[in-house]
Every structure is written in C-alpha cells, then in structure tokens.
C-alpha cells in the first residue's frame, strides 16, 4: 500500500471546518452567519469517521496482538481527552458565576467530571454557573463524537473476527452498512430521535466504508478515476434532489475522501511539524463558549474575535500535541520497540 498520503491535511481540514461551523452557531453573531455557507460540522464528522475506519483497520491488521491494538488506541485518545475534561473543571471555576466554595461543593461539578471522563457527556454536559445565557450551556459539545469513536474501536475487532470466520468481508461490511442506515432512518425519521440517530450504530456506515476501502485499496486505486467520477455524480444527485436519505451517500463520500488522501501529493507533508488536529477539535468548543458568555462577539469586532478564537485554539492544540499527545505516542513506540524488536 502506498504510504504517501495527506490524511494529516484532511483531518486538519475537517477539524477546522467544525471549528468554523461552531463559531457560526455558538457565537450567535449575525456578522459570522456567512460561515454557514462553507462550513458544515456534520459533513466533517462523517469525513473523520471514514478516515478512522480506514486507518484504524490498517492499524489493526498491522498490530500483533489485541492488547497492543487497544493500548495504541487508548494512548492516542485518552491522555489529551482526560486533560481537557479536568482542565475545563479547574479553569472554568474562575469564570463561573458561583464562587469557588459553591462551585466546588456543587454535585454537578463532579457529575460533569465523572460522566465526561467515561465519555457519557450527555449525562452532564454543563458546569455550575457557566454559559447559562449562551445558546447551549454545554461546556464541550464536540466531545460526543469521541464516545462514538471509542465504540468503533471496540467494534472493529469483532468485525474482523466475523470476517475471518465467514471469509466473506463484503457480505459482513455491506450488511453492517445497511443496518446502520436502517437504524438511522428509524431513529431519525420514524421515532424523531435525532440525538439517538447519531450514536454508534447511526454513523457506523461511514466507519465500515473506511474499512471496506482499506480492504479493497488496490482495486480502488486502480479504478480511481471512474470511481471518483461516479461518486461525485452520486453526491451531486443527492444534493440537487434534496433527498433526506440516500443509501449510497456514505459509500460515495467515503470513496472521495480516501481517493483524495492519496492523490494530493503537494499536501503529503502537511503534518511534518506535528498533528494538531485532535487538539483543535477538543479545545475549540469551550473557547467559543467563553467568548460568547462575555458577549465578546457583540462588544467588539466579530471578525477579530473569531480570529482570536482560532489563534487561542491553535495555541492549545500545539501545546496539547507537544506536551501530552506526542509524549504518550513516543513512549508507546519506545516500549513497543523493546518488547517486539521485529516491529518497527
């Protein structure tokens, strides 16, 4: 498989897209409403899940043990995640309308800490005395996707086990694909439960699309021009027909993402200075919320405040990479080299 790709750029692009979409929504500023015309958080999340399915499947087949696979996934997600949850509780104590004594004696502070540390963000999304006048009181509404991502990590070994036993990867993956779409349709359209629709089974179609594209990578690259053209036509037909559901949308979208990853050579070295995507994703939401709490988008120039949000988020993303994420990944690599010298 070709190792030259621009996944670092695509992930950063999707994370930046989500940041701009949330700036538009959470700022509640008319001056930033134009951001909705070229940013879409849901599309970006779908892109993340396709890339995740592709890269996590690749990691799984190249990892010698299930224990090591889960250890790799935990080291990539958990350290920075735990830090942002704990930091939010501590730092936002200074910005709460409650004094320190009331803030730290309020049971909801510890509910937030506990539920968020186990990825059940929806159980307690808010902290006492914070963002009560905002569009949402949630401290970090972007973290819900990480619960889904963790679920994908757990499901993937089971998928590969079923593939190994049946020796029918296409049947297994296509079945999961359509079951996922069926779950989404039932929850969203029939029961009118959009929040439940976007939980683990709902976006599984994008994740298994990534897995399917990984397992058939050579075929995809061999016929990439035809597949890309057909996929673009499928998406255009979806948007221009205003369909609410399209069973081929995840597959077409996934094909475009993966083909682009291996055919934009000028972006292959985008992440040579570091992978700041994760930090960008997990820090932008609370920073926007804090700006909104103090009406900074209304009191000052909205464009200047938006740039300030982006720069502060990038600052925390860079710190997260160099002080937390890279250290744990480097430590894992060193331990891995000691335990299994053949795998480098």
DSSP 340: -
CA distance 272 to 282: 21
Predicted confidence (pLDDT) per residue in 149-200, tens digit: 999 999 999 999 999 999 999 999 999 999 999 999 999 888 899 888 888 8
Predicted confidence (pLDDT) at residue 241 exceeds the cutoff of 90: no
**Mean pLDDT of the 132-151 span:** 96
pLDDT tier, 242 (very low <50, low <70, confident <90, very high otherwise): low
Among 64-68, 86-90, 185-189, 339-343, the minimum mean pLDDT is found in 339-343
pLDDT tier, 341 (very low <50, low <70, confident <90, very high otherwise): very low
Predicted confidence (pLDDT) at residue 335 exceeds the cutoff of 60: no
Instruction: List the alpha helices (DSSP H) in 131-223.
Output: 144-166, 169-185, 194-197, 204-215, 217-222
CA distance 65 to 149: 20
**Mean pLDDT of the 284-291 span:** 98
Confirm if 125 and 141 have CB atoms less than 8 A apart: yes
CA distance 232 to 240: 12
Confirm if 271 and 4 have CB atoms less than 8 A apart: no
CA distance 164 to 96: 53
């Amino acid at each position: 498989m070709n190792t030259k790709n621009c996944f670092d750029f695509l992930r950063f692009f999707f994370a930046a897209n989500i940041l701009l979409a949330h700036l538009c929504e959470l700022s509640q500023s008319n001056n930033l409403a134009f951001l909705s015309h070229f940013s879409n958080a849901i599309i970006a999340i779908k892109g993340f899940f396709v890339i995740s399915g592709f890269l996590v499947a690749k990691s799984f087949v190249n990892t010698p043990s299930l224990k090591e696979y889960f250890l790799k996934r935990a080291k990539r997600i958990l350290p920075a995640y735990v830090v942002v949850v704990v930091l939010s509780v501590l730092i936002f104590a200074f910005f709460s309308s409650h004094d320190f004594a009331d803030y730290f004696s309020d049971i909801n502070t510890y509910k937030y800490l506990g539920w968020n540390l186990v990825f059940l963000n929806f159980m307690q999304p808010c902290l006492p005395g914070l963002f009560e006048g905002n569009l949402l009181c949630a401290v970090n509404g972007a973290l819900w996707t990480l619960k889904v991502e963790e679920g994908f990590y757990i499901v993937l070994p089971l998928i590969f086990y079923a593939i190994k036993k049946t020796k029918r990867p296409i049947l297994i993956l296509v079945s999961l694909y359509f079951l996922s779409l069926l779950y989404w349709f039932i929850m969203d359209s029939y029961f009118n439960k959009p929040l439940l629709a976007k939980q683990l089974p709902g976006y599984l179609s994008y994740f298994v699309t990534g897995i399917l594209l990984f397992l058939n990578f050579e075929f995809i690259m061999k016929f990439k021009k035809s597949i890309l053209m057909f996929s673009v036509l499928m998406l255009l037909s979806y948007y221009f027909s205003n369909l609410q559901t399209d069973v081929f949308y995840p597959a077409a979208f996934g094909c475009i993402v993966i083909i682009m990853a291996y055919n934009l050579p000028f972006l292959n070295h985008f992440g040579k200075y570091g992978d700041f995507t994760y930090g960008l994703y997990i820090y932008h939401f609370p920073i926007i919320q804090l700006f909104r709490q103090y009406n900074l988008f209304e009191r000052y120039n909205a464009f200047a405040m938006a740039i300030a949000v982006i720069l502060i988020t990038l600052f925390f993303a860079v710190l997260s990479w160099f002080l937390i994420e890279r250290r744990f990944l480097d430590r894992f690599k060193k331990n891995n080299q000691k335990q299994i010298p053949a795998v480098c």
